[in-house]
Structure 1
Amino acid sequence: MTSEITLFVNPTAGSGRGARAAQPAASALRDAGFSVRTVLGEDADDALRRAKDAVAGGTGALIAVGGDGMMSLALQAVAGTSTPLGAVAVGTGNDFARALGLPVRDPAAAGRLAADALKAGTARAIDLGRVGERWFGSVLASGFDSRVNDRGNRMRRVGGRFRYDLAILAELAAFRPVPYRLRLDGGPVREIEATLIAVGNGTTYGGGMRICADAVMDDGLFDVTVVGACSRTTLLKVFPRVYRGTHLGHPVVSVHRVSSIELAAAGVTAYADGEPLGALPLTATCVPGAVRVLAGEK
């Protein structure tokens, strides 16, 4: 293992926390005896190209500094390689880091944990989801939740959590179930109406909403949470329970554990790790052990 570590930094994450977090994380790694180089990019495509170059050049680890968007970019660079991935989670949601039990908004602690894992050789192999050439680590969302994201992204004049809350209210006013066609593990096509379908490699999205609360990141399977067709009143009762994961016990909710899923629905955009993935239809596959993460022992 080379002693040179690459910090993959989003300077704008968390209203500037990314830039501030890089220094204490780098200091923790240097104190542990590693040399550190920093990779930035002019935009997402340029940043990803630079991260892939670092991986191809034999860096000892790629450590993403930022939020879930930065983790998503980093996954595209390291998935399917032997280069371990570290996370200094300082964004808004940080769902990937939360699912792994990593420090959140504590860059020095995250840097020390990554250094300890590298020295001890305890990088943990976890599964990833794959749609075409795109990898995801946490949750693929479709339906009500992705429509909230669509609407929130259009609200340019409103920022932060308030924008998301306004988007939820607006989507509730326009709420209607989505006609889906889905196929689980190559089985028969099912035609159902559902409020949303979430495909979980990890447990949470949206900054801690436990939509796939029982998902395990190294079992080779997705947890697919289906919130069936329901009234607006029922949705208002079920949705707040997502923060505790207790929605899974509601009669309108079902969970399926599968290694692959095909999803189709008109006018629905899928989001993976909080980033737009594209319009349905799509096929998602769980790839066992696709990445090694600096998370210490399980």
Structure 2
Amino acid sequence: MTAEISLFVNPTAGRGRGARAAQPAARALRDAGYSVRTVLGGDADDALRRAREAVAAGTGALIAVGGDGLVSLALQAVAGTDTPLGVVAAGTGNDFGRALGLPLRDPAEAGRIAADALKNDGIRELDLGRVGDRWFGTVLASGFDSRVNDRGNRMRRPNGRLKYDLAMVAELAAFRPVPYRMTLDDGIEREIEATLIAVGNGPSYGGGMRICADAAMDDGLFDVTVVGDCGRATLLKVFPKVYRGTHLSHPKVTVHRTARIILAAPGLTGYADGEPLGPLPLTAECVAGAVRVLGRCPVPGRAGAALPRQ
């Protein structure tokens, strides 16, 4: 293992938390005996190019300092390689870092965890989702939630999370269930009316909403959460439960487990790790052991889980 580590930094993540988090994380890595090189980019394409160059040059690890958007870029650079990925969570959502059991507001501790994992064989292999040549670590969203993203991305103001709260209110007012066609590993095409369908490699999106609460990141399968045809009143009742994952027991919610899924629906954009993938139809595959990560532990497995595979 080379002693040089690449710190992949988004200085604007979390309204500047990314830039502030880089220094204590780098200090913790240097204190552990590693040489630290910072990787920045002028824009997303440039940042990804530089991250891929660092991986190709044999960096000992690529450590993403930022939010889920930067982690998504980092995954494109390290997936399918031997280079481990570390995360210093410094964004708004931080769902990938949360899934790894990492501290969300302690960059020095996150740096120490990464260094300890490198020194003490604490590297774990986790699954990733793949759509075409794009990799994702947490959740592929489609339906009501992706429409909220679409609307929020079109809004110039206000800034931050308030924009998406207002977008959610507007989408609720215009809400209609979506006619989906969904094909799983069994090859059967299911035609269903649904509020949303979320394809989870990891359990949460949107900063801790546990939409696929029982998803394990090391079992080679997606958890597919289908929120069925329900009215606004039911949706308003169910949606707050997503933060605890207790929505899964609602009669309008079903969960399927599959290694591959084809989703088709008119007028919907798919989002993965909060980033737009493009319009449906989309085909997603769960690739077992696609990334090596530095963390305390992956999302736990399903010991004792009560949900049957459907």
- Which category of TM-score, normalised to the shorter sequence, fits these structures? over 0.9
- The structural deviation recorded for 1:186 is 4.7
> How far is 1:297 from its partner?
4.7
Counterpart CA distance in 2 for 1:296 and 1:4 is: 21
Equivalent residues of 2:66, 2:88 under 8 A apart: yes
Counterpart-to-counterpart distance in 1, 2:154 and 2:95: 23
In the other structure, the counterpart of 2:96 is 96
Q: Do the aligned residues in 2 keep the contact of 1:126 with 1:288 (CA within 8 Å)?
A: yes
Q: Which residue of 2 aligns with 1:282?
A: 282
Other-structure match for 1:172: 172
1:212-238 alpha-carbon deviations (Å, 9 max, x no partner): 000000011000000001111111111
Who is 2:62 aligned against?
A: 62
> Which residue number corresponds to residue 45 of structure 1?
45
Q: Please tell me the residue identity of whatever aligns with 2:260.
A: S
Greater Cα shift, 158-167 or 264-273: 158-167
Does 2:225 match 1:225? yes
Given that 2:40 and 2:47 are in contact with CA atoms closer than 8 Å, whether structure 1 keeps it comes out as: yes
After TM superposition, the score normalised by the length of structure 2 is 0.95
Q: Find the aligned partners of 1:82 and 1:171 in 2 and give their Cα distance.
A: 43
Q: Distance in 2 between matches of 1:252 and 1:200?
A: 18
**Matched residue count:** 298
Amino acid at match of 2:67: G
Amino acid at match of 1:262: I
Does structure 1 residue 196 correspond to structure 2 residue 196?
A: yes
Matched, 1:105 2:105: yes
Residue correspondence of structure 1 range 70-85 to structure 2 within 5 A: 70-85=70-85
Number of the residue aligned with 2:147: 147
Give, as a single letter, the amino acid of the residue that structure 1 aligns with 2:278: G
Quote the residue 2:121 is aligned against: 121
Q: CA deviation at 1:163?
A: 1.0
For residue 147 of structure 1, what is the amino acid of its counterpart?
R
Could you say which residue in structure 1 is the equivalent of 2:29?
Answer: 29
1:240 counterpart SS class: helix
Q: Do residues 207 (structure 1) and 207 (structure 2) align?
A: yes
**What is the rounded CA distance, in whole Å, between the counterparts of 1:83 and 1:154 in structure 2?**
36
Deviations 1:159-194, CA, capped at 9 Å, x for gaps = 122111111100000000001011001511111110
Q: Which amino acid aligns with 1:150?
A: D
Matched, 1:245 2:238: no
- Give the equivalent residue in structure 1 for 2:268: 268
Q: Tell me by how many angstroms 1:296 deviates.
A: 3.7
Helix, strand or coil for the counterpart of 2:33? coil
Q: Secondary structure at the match of 2:247?
A: helix
Is 2:100–2:297's contact at 8 Å kept on the other side of the alignment? no
CA–CA separation in structure 2 for the residues paired with 1:125 and 1:279: 30
CA distance in 2: counterparts of 1:258 and 1:282, whole angstroms: 15
Q: TM-score, normalised by structure 1?
A: 0.99
Look up the match of 2:156.
156
Check whether the contact 1:124–1:296 (CA below 8 A) recurs between aligned residues.
no
Q: 2:181 is paired with a residue of what secondary structure?
A: strand
SS at match of 1:204: coil
Give the match for residue 257 of structure 2.
257
Whether 1:184 aligns to 2:184 is: yes
Counterpart residue type for residue 94 of structure 2: N
Query: Which deviations, in whole Å up to 9, do the C-alpha atoms of 1:29-83 show, x marking residues without a partner?
Result: 0000000000000000000000000000000000000000000000000000000
- How many angstroms apart in 2 are the aligned matches of 1:222 and 1:170? 30
SS at match of 2:183: strand
Contact 1:123/1:296, CA 8 A, preserved across alignment = no
Partners of 1:282 and 1:119 lie apart in 2 by 40
Quick one: which amino acid aligns to residue 55 of structure 1? V
Cα distance, 1:121 vs structure 2: 1.4
What stretches of structure 2 of length at least 5 have no aligned partner?
299-310
Q: Is the counterpart of residue 136 in structure 1 residue 110 in structure 2?
A: no
Cα deviations across residues 128-174 of structure 1 (Å, max 9, x unaligned)?
A: 00000000000000000000001111111111221111111000000
Unaligned runs of 5+ in 1: none
Is contact 1:201–1:286 with CA below 8 Å preserved after alignment?
Answer: yes
**Is contact 1:219-1:288 (8 Å) kept?**
yes
Query: Runs of 4+ in structure 1 displaced over 6 angstroms?
Result: none
Per the alignment, residue 3 of structure 1 pairs with: 3
- SS of 1:50's equivalent in the other structure is helix
Coordinate RMSD, CA, aligned: 0.7
Identity of aligned residues (%): 80
Structure 2 CA distance for aligned equivalents of residues 76 and 294 of structure 1: 16
Check whether the contact 1:186–1:260 (CA below 8 A) recurs between aligned residues: no
CA distance in 1, matches of 2:20, 2:81: 29
